[in-house]
Structure 1
Amino acid sequence: MVFTTEIKTTQDSLELIGGKGRSLARMACAGFAVPSGFLVTADAYRSYVSINELQTQILELAKAELRDGYPVFDSSSAAIKDLILSTAMGPAIAEEIRLAYADLNQDDLSVAVRSSANAEDLPGFSFAGQQETFLNVRGADAVIEAVRNCWASLWTAQALSYRHQNGIPQDSVVMAVVVQVMVPSEVSGILFTSNPATGERGELIINASFGLGEAVVGGQVTPDTFVVNRNDLTDIEITLGPKDHQIVYDGDQGVKLQEVRDKDREVSSLTDTQLQELCETALKVESLYEDVPQDIEWAFCDGQLHLLQSRPITNLPAQPIELEWVPSPPARFVSRRQIVENMPDPICPLFEELYLTRGLESPRPESLMVGGGPMFVTVNGFAYQRFDWPQIIAEAERREREKEDPREIAEGDIEVAEFKAFEDQIKQSKQASAKVAIPDLQPFKESLNELDRAAFNEWYLDNESESLDALITMPESNNPTYIAFNHTTQNDRQVKSWYEDSQPRLKAVANKWRAVDVASASDETLLEGVVDMGIEEGHYWSGGSSHTFGVAKSTDDQLQCFLREVLPKHNFISGQFLTGIESKTMQSNLDLFEIANLVRADKDLTYTVLVVPSQFLMQALRDHHKGSKVVSALEKYLKTYGHQGYSMDFLEPTQMEDPSALFASLKGMVRDKDYHPENQSKKTAAIRQQKMKEIGELLNGLEYWQFRFRLWLAYKYNFIREEVAFMFGYTWSILRPMAFELGRRLVEIGTFKQADDVFFMTSDQLEQAISERSHNRSMPELGELAAELREYREACKQHHPPGTLPALASEIDAVSFKETQIKNDEDSNVMRGFPVSSGSVTAKASVVLGPAEFDKMTPGSILVSPLTTPAWTQLFANAVGLVTDVGSILAHGSIVAREYGIPAVLGVGNGTIRIKHGQTITIDGDAGTVMILEESDS
C-alpha cells in the first residue's frame, strides 16, 4: 500500500488523493505553476484507522446531540479529535512521510499542510473552510503532527454537520493530505471565473490582498476587488479595500495576523501586469476543467504566479439576462393577481399551454378582452391576468389624451361614454342589489343572540322608514366592491354550484386517471391524461370556482371597505373580526399537531425527528423500530393533503412526492413543547372580542347595524375560500407520475436528457416525439430546446416581476382596486402593503423563498416569503408575523395569519429582496407597514 505520492501524479482517484489533491495533480500535470510537494494518500488514513481499530469508535461518537431542539456535533467532534490525536500514527506511515519530506531537498523546509477529503471541492459539495490547513510547518515531526490534525479535521463539527445535512454517510469519508512547499506570497487571493453573486459568465472576479491568502479566504480582511471582462481582459472595475491586516510567517512555525502599513493600504495590491497574467491563467485553468466555472486560489511571490487550488463554483446562479417588462399584444394592461398569485416563479411551457391558456379559457366561448386573446398571459415566463376590459381601456385612453392636452378631452368619445356607463352600472347594480338583499335582514336577525336581537328590533322600530332596509344592507359608497356577491341569494347559488358541479367534476377527472396503470399505459394514453388533467384544473378555476372564491373575497372586501370608509382613523381591518372559522387549512394543522404528539410521547422518536434532516426523515422513520404508528399517521395525512403543492405549476413537486418541507414544520411542533393549537384559538378570540368592544363604543345607530350586517355576511361565506383553494392542484399527484413516465421513455430513446424535460414542451411537440418513438426514432433537438428553456426560466427567476404592467396602469382606480402588490420606494426602510391581520410585532425575519428553504424558518421569527399556499400552512406554527410580496385581503396568508392571531402585511412587492434573513423588522398589521430596523446578522 502506497502512503505518499508526488503532487504531479496521474493516479488522480478521488478515493486516493481527495478533491483538493486531485485538482492540484491535474493542474500540475497540465504544466501550471503548482508549488512542489507530495500527497499523503487516503490509504494512509485508512491504514491508520484500521490498524488502531478506530472506525467503530469514530462512528459511535459521530452522532448529534440535541441543543434547544437542534442537532449539534460539538461534543462529537471534540471526542473524535481527542481519539485521533491520542493515537499514534504508526511507524510505516510516519517513515514514508519523513522520506517524502526529505525528498523536497531542503532541511526544515517550510511547507503548507492541507486537508483533501474525498467529499470536498466537488461541484455539489465544496466543504469550503470546514477542514484544516496548517501553514509554515517546518520539520518532519511537525509535518507528521499536522497530518494527524488534518485527519482529525475530517471530523470537525462543521464537517460532521455538513455531511449530516447533505446525506453523506459518515462512514464513507476518508482524508488525504496535501503537503506543499510554502509560497511566502507578497500578494494573494481568490479568482472566480464567473461572478458567483450574479451568475454573470462574462466577468472574472478577483479578491486580492497582501500577505498569505488565508486572510482573504477566511474573511479576515476586506481585500481589493477587481471585476474584469473576460472577453478582452481590459474592461476593469477596481474597488480598493482597506487591506488593514495581512497574514505572515510567525517565526519558524505557524503564521500570525499583523497590520499592513498605512501607505500600502491605499494602493492596489496587484499591478496591471500581474492582473493580466492572473486572468489569462485563470481562463486556461477553466478550459482544463471543461469550461466549468472555477474558484481559484493563487499567490504571487517574487513576481511568479502560483496556483494553490481550483474547484468548481458551487451554487452558481443562472447567467443573468436583461428583460423588458412589456406585455405582448394584444395584451395592454396586466397584473399579478387572482389565480396567478399562486404561481410565484416563471411557469413551464406545458403548464402555460394546458392550464393558463387552454384550461382557464375553456369555459368562455369568446374572449372578454379588448383586442381578443386569452385573459391570462405570461411576461418573461411570469403569469399575469389581463385588465383589458372596455372601461379600463377607455379610461387609459382618456388619461393619455388629457396628458397631451387637457383642453381636448373628447367628452363625446365612445370610450368615455363606455366609462361613464360603467359608473352608472355600479350605481344601478347597487340599487338593484339593495332590493334583493332586503330579505337577508331576516336570517341576519336570526343569527343575533337574544340581547342583540332585542336591541336591533328596538332601534329598527324607532327608525323605521321605506329606505331603512336598503340602507342597512347596502351602505352609501362609490366603491365598486359592493356591486358583486352582496346578498345571500346569489351567493348561496354560487356556493351550491361549486359543491354540485365544480368540485365533483374535478374529482371525476382525478378518479378517471388514477385508475390508469402508469407503467403499462401507452405513450398516447399518458399524454392524453396529462393534457386532460392540465386543462380540467384550469376549467375548475375559471368554470365556477373563481366566482365561488369571489363570494368570500367580495364579502370580506365589503367589510374592509366599510371599516375604512366609516372609521378611517382607527385602523380597523376585516381580519380582526373574521377569526375562529373552521377550515381545511386549520384542520391540516391540527392533524399535523396530532402526529407531533405521537412523536413527543417517545424520546427515541423525538430524537430521530429532530436530528434526521427533513429530506431523509420518512425513510428513517420507516427504518425505526418504533416508527410504524408515526409512519401510518403521516401516510394518512399525505393521502388527505399530499396533493397540495408549493406552486400551482405542475413542474413543482407536491407534498406527496416531497414531504421534506412538511417535516420541517413537524420538527418545529415537536421542538416547541409549549405549542398547542388551542393557544391560537384563545389568542384570536381575545383579539376578536377586544375589537368588537372597541367598535361597539365607536359606532351606533345605522352605522353599527350596517357593520353587523356586513360582518355577518362576510363570516357566513369566509369558509368557502379555503374549500375552493384546497382543491388547487388536486390532480397533480396523478399527472406528474404520468408525465415523468412519458419523459423517462423519451430519455430512453434519446429525445430528452432528463425526464422532466417533458414540462418544457408543448403538447404538439410531445405528440411528435411520441410518433417518432413509435418508429424507434429520437428527436434530440427537443432535449436541447428543453435545456435552453430550463436555463431561460432559471435566469428569469432572478428577476422580480412588477405587480402591474405598465406601472402607470396603477393610476386607474379599476386597476389599483384589484392589485395585489404595492410599489415601494427601494431606498426607504419603511414598506407599505395590505394590512390583513391585526397587531404589531418586532422580531427577526426568516426569509423563505420556497419549500427548499423551509428549514430556515426559526421559531419566534417573522415569515417573509413571496406568497403562501396551503402547503406553507405548517410554517405559521413557528411564526410571530407574516410579510409577503404578493397578496391582499383574502390571500391564503391572510386567512391563516388571522387564525394564528399573528400580524400580517401582504403585497409589499419587494419584501423578499429588501429584507435579509436575520434582519430585525417591525410589522404593523393594522397600518399595513413593515419597517427594517437593523442589518442581518446571518
Structure 2
Amino acid sequence: MSVYVLDFDHLDKSSLPLVGGKGANLGEMMKAGFPVPSGFCITTEAYRSFLKQSDVMDGFLGRLDRVEADQLGEITALGQDIREHLVTLPVPDDIRTAIIQGWHRSGTDQAYAVRSSATAEDLPTASFAGQQDTYLNVCGEDALLDAVRKCWASLFTDRAISYRARNRFDHRTVQLSVVVQRMVFPEVSGIMFTADPITGHRGTVSIDASYGLGEALVSGLVSADLYQVRSGKLLTKTVSRKKLAIYALPEGGTVKRELPEIQQEMQALDDVRILELAALGEKIKRHYGSEQDIEWCFAQGSFFIVQSRPITSLYPLPDLNIPPGESPHLLVSFGHQQMMTDAMKPMGLSVLRTLIPFGKTGIQAMNEHTAAVGGRVYVDITKLLTVKQARVILPKVLANVDEMIGLGVTELVKRESFVQHLPPAAGVKKGVLRFIRPVLRRVARKLLYAPVTDAHLEVNAYIEASVQKGEIRLSGVTGPERVVRIQEHIGMLLLTIFPQLIPYPLAGIISSRLVNALSIKWLGDTEVVHVLNRGLPGNITSEMGLMIGDLADAARSYPQVIELLRRGDPLQFREQLRQVEGGDAFGLLWDRFIALYGMRCPGEIDITRPRWREDPSTLLPSIVCHMRSMEPGEHRAKFAEGTLEASAAASELLKRLRAQPFGWLKAKLMSRLVCVYRGLMGLREHPKYLMMQHFGLVREGLLDEGRSLVKDGVLNRADEVFYLSLDELLKLTEGERLPGLAALLEQRKEELERFRGMKPPRLMTSEGEIITGRRKLQDVPEGAWVGTPVSAGVIEGIARVVLRPEEANLNRGEIMIAPFTDPGWTPLFHSAVGLVMEVGGLMTHGAVVAREYGLPAVVGIDGATTLIRDGDRIRLDGTRGYVLVLERSE
C-alpha cells in the first residue's frame, strides 16, 4: 500500500500524524468493531508532496505568521490568494495513481464523502470542527481528484486561518489528510453528544436528529429534533418542525428538498431507536475514555458512525470520590466570591485550598471539601445543605456575594431528587454553630452598645501585630522547615483573622440593612442609605485610591516623571526615578505608597501573581488614567464632599424622625445604627488587606525556596516554583526528586494556557452540570441586559471595556466595563463615572467601592465585556439593574 494512501483498516489512533484526527478516529473505531462505512485516507505525505510543487507557499506562510485572529480583512484576502493558487496546481502523478488505486479497492461504483482531516483536528483540547471543507456524494475519478484538491486548499479557508491564529497553532505545522469514505444515503442523520453540551451534565446523552443528510442540520437549515437519554431512559424529547432535508442525487452532488407537510412534524427517530443510538454512543465513549461528539446516520434499519471526536467545550469535572447513591455534590466557585475568575497556577490553587480551614484533616493539609477544576478553586458545599435551615439561609448569604450563585443554589435545593439523596453529615450543624456563635456575640455587642470611635485604632493595631508575628514565624528558617511553617501559617490564617476582624464590618453591614429597612418603613425613603455610604472613614481600599490621586497630582509638575509613568520600564521604575527631574519628590510619595500597598495587585488572591512592589506595570497606567480624567485635587475634594453629604443626610434623617410619633425613640435607635454604619463599614476591606500582607510574606518565602532550587539545579527559574503544589515543594526541599519534573512543569504550563481560555461556571455539580439560577426580569427597556443593581443612580456615557488594569485607557466621563474587580482595580474607580461587571453581588468589592464613590453600578451581567463594545454609548441604571446600548460604536 502506498505511503500516500492508507485504507481505514490500516489505521488507528496512533496514525494521527499521517491521516489527521478524523482519519485516525475512523480507523480506530473500525478496528474496535463500530459500524463505520469503509474508505481510505490520502495521507499528509501526499499533501506535503503536493505543496512542494509551489515556489510561493513559503512566502504565503510567512505572511500568515504575521496575521492576528481578529484581522479579518487581511485573513480574507490572503486566504483567497492561497486557495486560488492551490487549486491551479496539478495532482502529482504518483499521488494521483495511489488515489485511483485506493478508489478501485474501495469500489468505483460507489459514491463517496470527501472530507478534510487536519493533524490539529479532533484533538482532546481543540476540535477544529468545521474549519475545512467537505464534499458529499462524489462520483467518478475526475470528481474525486477535484474534491481532494479542493480539500487541500480548504486548509486555508478564512475560518481555518482565524481558528489556528486564535488557538496559537503554527500554520506550518498543521498538515492535511483527506478522508474518502463510502457514502451512506440515510433516512435520518444527526449529531450525538455523550454529555449535555449546554449544561455539561456527563450522564446525559443529547441527540439531534433530522431527515436526510446531516448537512442540513450542521449548516443550520433545519431545527432538529432533540432527544435526551439518561441512565438508559428517555429523559426529554422535543420534536421540531423540519421543513427541509438534503438528499444525494444519483449523478452526484446533493439537493435541498421540502418535506411533505405530514412528515415535517413527525418524530425523526422512534423511541426504541433513540435508546439504541444512545447505547452505541456510551460504548464509543467508554472506548475512548472521554466524552464524544459523534456524527451518525440511519439507513436500511442500521446505524452508521461517520465521525467521533472529543467534546472540547466541556468544563473539566471535579475530582471527587462520591459514594454510590448520594446526590451529585454541589460546588461553588471560590473565584467568583473573591472577584477573580482567572485560571491560576498550581501553587495558587494549593495555597487557597490550604487556606480554607473547615473540614480539614490537619492544619497543613489541603481542604478535602475543595477541588481544583480548570485552574480554579471550587468549594463543595453539599454537607452544609444537609441542614434544612442552611438550604434557606445559605442561598441568601451567597446572593450578597453574587446574585446568580444564590439563585442557582435556590434552584438546586428545590429538586426533590437532590434533597432526598444528600449524604449523611452528622455534626455539621453543631460545628457551624460552634464557630458562628462567638462571632455573632461580638457582632451583637458592637451593634448594640460597644463604642465604635476606637474601632479603626483597634483593627490597625491588630493588623500590625499580626504581620509582625508572621514575619517572625517565617524568617530565619529555610528548606523543609520553612515550607512546613508556610503550610501551617496559611492553614491557621483564616481561623485567626476571621473571628477577630469580621465582627467589625459584619456589624456595619447589618446596621446598613437596618438603616435601609427602617428608613423605608418609617419614612418611605429608599435613597438615604446610598448617601450615608459616601466618604466612609478609614476604608483601606478607598485610602489607597486617594493615594493614587496624590501620586498623579505629584507627577503633574514633572514632564519626565510623566514620561516614565507612560513609557518607562516598570521593573526599573524606582531606579529610573532617581535619574529624572522631580523623581526624588515623587519617589518619596511612591515609597510610602509601596510600603502600605506594595503587596497588592489585581487578582491578588492568586499568590503567584507579581505584587506591585515587584512589578508595578498594572499600577502605572492607573496613575496616568487619573491625570487624564481628574483635575488636580479633585479626588480629595470629591471624597470630602461625600463625607459632608453623608453627615448632612444623617442629620436630616434624624430630624425627620424626631418629628414623628415616638420620634425621640426612633431617632435614638437610628442614631446608633448610623453611628455603627459610619464607624464600622469602612473596615470591610481590612481582613482582606491583612490577608494580603501575609500572602506577601508567604510569596517571598516561596520565591526564596525557588531560588535555592535553581542553585541546586532542580529548577531553571525561581518562579517555576509556582507550577508546584506546597506538598510537592516540600518534597523537593527535603531532597526527594520528582520523576519527570521538567516534563511535568511543561505540561502544567500548557494546561494553564488551555484553562485560561475556559469560562468557569459559578456553580457546578460533581456530574459536570452547570447550575444557573433564574433572575426575575424587572421593568426594563427592550433589548437591555439585566444584572444585579448594587449602586443606585442612572448615567449615560461612553463604555470603556477594561479586561486588565494595565491596559486601561479610561477618559473623563466614561463607564468602566470589567469582568470583575478586586482591590487591585481600585485605582481606576476615580477615573470612571459608572461600573458594569460580569460577576459580583451587593457586598463584593466593586459594589462597595462604587457606592462609596457614588458611581452607579450593575453587576452579574454574563459576557458584559463582549456584549458591550468599547466605545458604545450606553445607559447604566444602577437603581433598577440594567444596561442599555443607546448607540453602537463604529
TM-score of the pair, normalised by structure 2: 0.62
The aligned residue for residue 423 of structure 2 is none
Quick check: 1:193–1:201 contact (8 Å CA) kept in 2?
A: yes
Residue 155 (structure 2) pairs with residue 193 (structure 1): no
Alignment of 1:113-512 (within 5 A): 113-230=114-231, 233-235=232-234, 237-249=236-248, 252-272=251-271, 274-289=273-288, 291-317=289-315, 355-357=356-358, 379-380=381-382, 483=448, 490-491=452-453, 493-503=454-464, 505-506=466-467, 509=470
Residue 539 (structure 2) pairs with residue 578 (structure 1): no
| Structure 1 residue 244 displacement after superposition | 1.9
Question: Using the alignment, how far apart are the partners of 2:825 and 2:58 within structure 1?
Answer: 41
| Structure 1 residue 23 displacement after superposition | 0.1
The aligned residue for residue 728 of structure 1 is 691
Deviations 1:475-519 (A, max 9, x none): xxxx9997478x7xx43x3323343441453365257537765xx
| Structure 1 residue 163 displacement after superposition | 3.0
Deviations 1:416-447 (A, max 9, x none): xxxxxxxxx99xx9xxxxxxxxxxxxxxxxxx
Q: Structure 1 residues 353 and 281 mapped into 2: Cα distance closer, same or farther (>3 Å)?
A: closer
Quick check: 2:531–2:645 contact (8 Å CA) kept in 1?
A: no
Question: Using the alignment, how far apart are the partners of 1:713 and 1:862 within structure 2?
Answer: 31
Question: Using the alignment, how far apart are the partners of 2:626 and 2:737 within structure 1?
Answer: 63
| Letter in structure 2 aligned against 1:629 | D
| Structure 1 residue 205 displacement after superposition | 1.8
| Structure 1 residue 17 displacement after superposition | 0.8
The aligned residue for residue 418 of structure 1 is none
| Letter in structure 2 aligned against 1:269 | A
Q: Structure 1 residues 319 and 342 mapped into 2: Cα distance closer, same or farther (>3 Å)?
A: closer
Residue 584 (structure 2) pairs with residue 629 (structure 1): no
The aligned residue for residue 487 of structure 2 is 530
| Letter in structure 2 aligned against 1:21 | G
Moved more, 173-182 or 72-81: 72-81
| Letter in structure 2 aligned against 1:506 | V
Residue 46 (structure 2) pairs with residue 44 (structure 1): yes
Question: Using the alignment, how far apart are the partners of 1:591 and 1:3 within structure 2?
Answer: 67
Question: Using the alignment, how far apart are the partners of 2:229 and 2:696 within structure 1?
Answer: 47
Deviations 1:300-340 (A, max 9, x none): 2233322100112223356799998999xxxxxxx999x97
Alignment of 1:779-818 (within 5 A): 795=765
| Structure 1 residue 718 displacement after superposition | 7.4
Quick check: 2:113–2:136 contact (8 Å CA) kept in 1?
A: yes
Quick check: 2:20–2:176 contact (8 Å CA) kept in 1?
A: yes
Quick check: 1:188–1:298 contact (8 Å CA) kept in 2?
A: yes
Q: Structure 1 residues 887 and 297 mapped into 2: Cα distance closer, same or farther (>3 Å)?
A: closer
Alignment of 1:559-598 (within 5 A): 568-569=524-525, 571-574=527-530, 578=534, 582-584=542-544
Structure number with the bigger relative contact order (C-alpha 8 A, sep ≥ 6) is: 2
Q: Percent identity?
A: 24
Quick check: 2:189–2:212 contact (8 Å CA) kept in 1?
A: yes
Deviations 1:63-101 (A, max 9, x none): 566799999844443343344334444443334334433
Give the secondary-structure state (helix, strand or coil) at the position aligned to 2:284: helix
Question: Using the alignment, how far apart are the partners of 1:43 and 1:315 within structure 2?
Answer: 31
Question: Using the alignment, how far apart are the partners of 1:633 and 1:256 within structure 2?
Answer: 67
Question: Using the alignment, how far apart are the partners of 2:82 and 2:550 within structure 1?
Answer: 42
Tell me which of 836, 841, 847 is aligned to 2:791: 836
Tell me which of 814, 832, 846 is aligned to 1:893: 846
Give the secondary-structure state (helix, strand or coil) at the position aligned to 2:257: strand
Question: Using the alignment, how far apart are the partners of 1:351 and 1:224 within structure 2?
Answer: 45
| Structure 1 residue 833 displacement after superposition | 5.6
Structure 1: any 5+ residue segments left out of the alignment? 328-334, 363-376, 389-424, 430-478, 607-626, 749-753, 778-789, 803-822
Question: Using the alignment, how far apart are the partners of 1:158 and 1:674 within structure 2?
Answer: 41
The aligned residue for residue 3 of structure 1 is 4
Question: Using the alignment, how far apart are the partners of 2:543 and 2:487 within structure 1?
Answer: 30
| Structure 1 residue 892 displacement after superposition | 1.0
Quick check: 1:340–1:385 contact (8 Å CA) kept in 2?
A: no
| Structure 1 residue 726 displacement after superposition | 3.7
Give the secondary-structure state (helix, strand or coil) at the position aligned to 1:32: coil
Q: Structure 1 residues 79 and 525 mapped into 2: Cα distance closer, same or farther (>3 Å)?
A: same
Question: Using the alignment, how far apart are the partners of 2:258 and 2:854 within structure 1?
Answer: 53
Residue 502 (structure 2) pairs with residue 546 (structure 1): yes
Give the secondary-structure state (helix, strand or coil) at the position aligned to 2:169: coil
Deviations 1:617-642 (A, max 9, x none): xxxxxxxxxx9936656999999667
Deviations 1:212-237 (A, max 9, x none): 1122233332111222234xx35453
The aligned residue for residue 904 of structure 1 is 857
Quick check: 2:761–2:770 contact (8 Å CA) kept in 1?
A: no
Question: Using the alignment, how far apart are the partners of 2:171 and 2:548 within structure 1?
Answer: 36
Question: Using the alignment, how far apart are the partners of 2:256 and 2:789 within structure 1?
Answer: 51
Structure 2: any 5+ residue segments left out of the alignment? 343-347, 364-378, 391-439, 576-589, 658-666, 715-720, 740-759, 781-785
Question: Using the alignment, how far apart are the partners of 1:496 and 1:94 within structure 2?
Answer: 85
Deviations 1:815-862 (A, max 9, x none): xxxxxxxx98657777896642432569999999x99xx9xxxx9998
Deviations 1:904-925 (A, max 9, x none): 246xxxx568999849998632
Give the secondary-structure state (helix, strand or coil) at the position aligned to 1:170: coil
Quick check: 1:36–1:181 contact (8 Å CA) kept in 2?
A: yes
Residue 679 (structure 2) pairs with residue 678 (structure 1): no
Moved more, 86-95 or 184-193: 86-95
| Structure 1 residue 713 displacement after superposition | 10
| Letter in structure 2 aligned against 1:725 | K
Give the secondary-structure state (helix, strand or coil) at the position aligned to 1:131: coil
Q: Structure 1 residues 900 and 565 mapped into 2: Cα distance closer, same or farther (>3 Å)?
A: same
Question: Using the alignment, how far apart are the partners of 1:879 and 1:160 within structure 2?
Answer: 40
| Structure 1 residue 260 displacement after superposition | 2.0
Question: Using the alignment, how far apart are the partners of 2:43 and 2:550 within structure 1?
Answer: 54
| Letter in structure 2 aligned against 1:197 | I
Quick check: 2:796–2:876 contact (8 Å CA) kept in 1?
A: yes
Task: Give RMSD over aligned pairs.
Answer: 6.6
Give the secondary-structure state (helix, strand or coil) at the position aligned to 2:106: coil
Give the secondary-structure state (helix, strand or coil) at the position aligned to 1:154: helix
Quick check: 1:527–1:739 contact (8 Å CA) kept in 2?
A: no
The aligned residue for residue 456 of structure 1 is none
| Letter in structure 1 aligned against 2:793 | S
Question: Using the alignment, how far apart are the partners of 1:226 and 1:303 within structure 2?
Answer: 19
Question: Using the alignment, how far apart are the partners of 1:691 and 1:502 within structure 2?
Answer: 26
Question: Using the alignment, how far apart are the partners of 1:131 and 1:504 within structure 2?
Answer: 64
Quick check: 2:838–2:865 contact (8 Å CA) kept in 1?
A: no
Question: Using the alignment, how far apart are the partners of 1:148 and 1:500 within structure 2?
Answer: 76
| Structure 1 residue 725 displacement after superposition | 3.5
Q: Structure 1 residues 774 and 120 mapped into 2: Cα distance closer, same or farther (>3 Å)?
A: closer
Q: Structure 1 residues 228 and 383 mapped into 2: Cα distance closer, same or farther (>3 Å)?
A: closer
Question: Using the alignment, how far apart are the partners of 1:116 and 1:912 within structure 2?
Answer: 39
Quick check: 1:194–1:205 contact (8 Å CA) kept in 2?
A: yes
Quick check: 2:228–2:237 contact (8 Å CA) kept in 1?
A: yes
| Letter in structure 1 aligned against 2:108 | Q
Question: Using the alignment, how far apart are the partners of 1:584 and 1:169 within structure 2?
Answer: 44
The aligned residue for residue 836 of structure 2 is 882
Quick check: 2:799–2:815 contact (8 Å CA) kept in 1?
A: yes
Give the secondary-structure state (helix, strand or coil) at the position aligned to 2:41: strand
